[in-house]
Structure 1
Amino acid sequence: MALAPFHLAIPVYDLAAARQFYGDLFGCAEGRSSEHWVDFDFFGHQLVIHQAPKMAYQEAAHCNPVDGHEVPVPHFGVVLAWEDWQRLAERLQARGTHFVIEPHVRFAGQIGEQATLFLLDPCGNALEFKAFKDIDQLFAK
């Protein structure tokens, strides 16, 4: 079954900074927009940034421990092909990106082994990008 694109709308308190972040850092093409929101093609999915007041989680994210790291909650992101994840991680590192959790392999040698990285957008929204060498382990227990 082919995956359907998701639609996700997130709050940003600095529309211009968020627009540059998603457009420049990730190279996401813009779709429709107004003075209060912008649509992006986010790796084939529809991400919409909406001008909104700062939310409590954007000040200081709650974190849960996962494989020795403090994972920010809430967060969102994309599961990429292994090679695409590596290229993204290298691009972000070359641009001096500050990571909440540096690119690394999580659950090494276990079911669900995956590459992952976490970063924040300029408005404190947490993003995770991950990849599986074996995509069949995406939901493995």
Structure 2
Amino acid sequence: MTLPPFHLAFPVHDLEAARGFYGGLLGCPEGRSAAEWIDFDFFGHQIVAHHAEGMEPKHSNPVDGHDVPVPHFGAVLPMEEWRALAERLREAGTAFVIEPTVRFEGQPGEQATMFFLDPSGNALELKAMRDPGKLFAK
């Protein structure tokens, strides 16, 4: 199943830090930009970092024994790409909110997942499904 790309705009406190994080560490190609925003190709999806002062407080919800940060955004990657990115993030000294792990083991929604923050404190989740066809399975 191929899903259409999404578009997401989100606040950051420092565009150059966002450029280094998304473009450098995550390897997301940069698209259009202006003095107050930058487009990135986030694993085939368009995200836009907008300069904004003052970030909203973060919350969390319990999911499978972890405190999942809310709000968050992310992408579903092929398993090998997820593993390579997890290793690159570990090597870069990324402080994970939730370390790379497998959750819902043995269930239809079994997935590898990791949560971390960008330099502005935006929470990201990157995951890979054991069976990609079961992304929305109950």
Instruction: Look up the match of 1:40.
Output: 40
Instruction: Look up the match of 1:27.
Output: 27
> How far off its partner does 1:111 sit?
2.1
Instruction: State percent identity of aligned pairs.
Output: 67
Instruction: Look up the match of 1:14.
Output: 14
> Is 1:93 the counterpart of 2:90 in the alignment?
yes
- Which segments of 5 or more consecutive residues in structure 2 lack a partner in the other structure? none
The separation in 2 between residues aligned to 1:42 and 1:126, in whole angstroms, is 14
Aligned residues: 138
- Which segments of 5 or more consecutive residues in structure 1 lack a partner in the other structure? none
> How far off its partner does 1:5 sit?
1.3
> How far off its partner does 1:116 sit?
0.2
Q: For the aligned residues, what is the CA RMSD?
A: 1.0
Using structure 2 for the length normalisation, give the TM-score.
Answer: 0.96
SS of equivalent residue, structure 1 residue 130: strand
Instruction: Look up the match of 2:130.
Output: 133
SS of equivalent residue, structure 1 residue 17: helix
> Residues 70-129 of structure 1: CA distance to partner in whole angstroms, max 9, x if unpaired?
000000000011111111111111111110000000011122110000000000100000
Misfit runs of 4+, over 4 Å: none
SS of equivalent residue, structure 1 residue 3: coil
The separation in 2 between residues aligned to 1:31 and 1:140, in whole angstroms, is 34
Instruction: Look up the match of 1:83.
Output: 80
> Is 1:115 the counterpart of 2:138 in the alignment?
no
The separation in 2 between residues aligned to 1:55 and 1:129, in whole angstroms, is 22
